[in-house]
Amino acid sequence: MTQAVDPVSDDIVTLQTHVLQEKRRHPDASGTLSWILSALSISAKIIAAQLRRARLENVLGAVGTENVQGEEQQKLDVIANTVLMRALGSREGVMVLASEEAEEPVVITENRGDDRGYCVLFDPLDGSSNLDVAGGVGTIFSILRHDRRSSRTEDSVLQPGDRQVAAGYVLYGSSTVLVLTTGEGVDMFVLDTSIGAFIRVERGLRIPESGRCYSLNEGNRRSFPAGYCAYLDWAQGNGYSSRYVGAMVADVHRTLLKGGVFMYPPTEKAPSGKLRLLYEANPMAMLIEQAGGQATDGQGRILEIQPTALHQRTPVILGSPAEVARVSEFLMPAPEAGAA
Ligand code: P6P
């Protein structure tokens, strides 16, 4: 059950306090994960400050280069990526960093043969094309333990999402919100810029069981597989609303808080879907499942997909369990005529 923090009676818990409390509950923990979360927190504060002043300091707009995805890089994509690489790359215990903006993983510490190290994967500024119109954008992160069995240190990032030890996102919107799971539920923090600290506002966040809202880019409808179109016809016939920001963090955050379903189906342009498995779908899937929701690729759980490439893509259907189940019903192949 979501426990809204009472701003008057409840203790003021910052992200730092929260992480220390969690560490205290796991006395055998080395504290490395705490340091990584601290690096992510300071990165989010720096990026948030940069975004707020972007137009004033003329750092909006495109760099004039493309990233490994072939997408036009925004100046702030590069800035955010640099901030995260610097903050995380200097933290003990970080062995590999992987970013949407970098073709290959960056090995910080070679394989020491032990598995105390971590891999951190991130999309530094998701939805950055919204920046020019002051739309919501975000940072998405996924944390894995280093897998010492990997033949090359950098291959350690190719682990199924079920192996994530932590995941989260930062939404730079009307406020700066950090949503985090370390595998024991989902907690939400809001940045209080007057003191420069993330304050915990929700503990044990739970997604509503259902919600009459779907979120996807209907401009691609002509190339959706038939089951998605059948679902849309059903939803539109049953009073559902449509909400779509075009930035995964913003659309998933609304779905997490209000219920409903977010989807990026396969399309003609993106036959495997557009969203990246390792640093978009997996962290969001962990959060949604930890909050009591479901996250599938249309066939099975996203978190069970065995990755084969850093930037591989996957279809995404995630949100309230009742809504994901509904979409899945429409995606199931029709029984063959005459089948028993
Ligand atoms: P489309 C942003 O570019 C992004 O990677 C996600 O944040 C978002 O959900 C999706 O792509 C939007 O894609 O094709 O609808 O513009």
Residue 145 lies in a domain: yes
In a domain, 46, yes or no: yes
Q: How far apart are CA 295 and CA 297, in angstroms?
A: 7
pLDDT single digits (tens) 265-295: 999 999 999 999 999 999 999 999 999 999 9
**How far, in Å, CA of 192 to CA of 66, rounded?**
34
> Are 169 and 252 found together in one domain?
no
Last-in-domain residue among 202, 223, 254: 202
Total tally of structural domains belonging to the chain: 2
225 and 188 within one domain = no
The number of CA neighbours under 13 Å toward the Cβ of 173 is 16
Mean local confidence (pLDDT), 90-102: 93
Do residues 118 and 151 touch, judged by C-beta distance below 8 A?
no
Domain boundary among 175, 202, 229: 202
**pLDDT of 149-189, one tens digit each?**
888 888 999 999 999 999 999 999 999 999 999 999 999 99
* Residue 246 Cβ < 6 Å to ligand 1: yes
Asked if pLDDT for residue 264 goes beyond 70, the answer is yes
Q: Which domain holds residue 69?
A: 15-202
156 and 32 assigned to the same domain = yes
| Residue that has been written with the tokens 């993983």 in this structure | 105
Rounded CA separation 149/92 (Å):
20
For strand 106-107 and strand 94-99, is the pairing parallel, antiparallel, or unpaired?
Answer: antiparallel
Q: For residue 267, report the distance from its CA to the centre of ligand 1, in Å.
A: 13
Length of the chain in terms of residues written: 340
- 244 and 157 inside one domain: no
Work out the average pLDDT over 107-123.
82
Q: What is the pLDDT, as a whole number, of residue 53?
A: 87
192 — phi, psi (to 5°)?
-95, 100
Q: Is it the case that residue 43 has pLDDT exceeding 60?
A: yes
- Lowest mean pLDDT across 9-13, 56-60, 93-97: 56-60
- Which residue(s) pair with 139 in the sheet? 170
Quick check: CB of 123 below 6 Å from ligand 1? Answer: no
Distances (CA, A) of 162 to 19, 116, 284, 312: 21, 18, 12, 17
Residues 32 and 156 in one domain: yes
Q: How far is the CA of 90 from the centre of ligand 1 (A)?
A: 31
CATH of the domain at 272: 3.40.190.80
Same domain? For 42 and 187 the reply is yes
User: Is ligand 1 within 6 A of the CB of residue 247?
Assistant: yes
Predicted local distance difference test score (pLDDT) of residue 69: 73
CATH number at residue 47: 3.30.540.10
**Mean pLDDT taken over the chain:** 92
Q: If we measure between CA atoms, which residue out of 102, 257, 95 comes closest to residue 169?
A: 257
Instruction: For residues 44-53, give the mean pLDDT.
Output: 94
Examine the domain organization and report whether 234 and 152 are in the same domain. no
Residue at a domain's end among 167, 202, 237 = 202
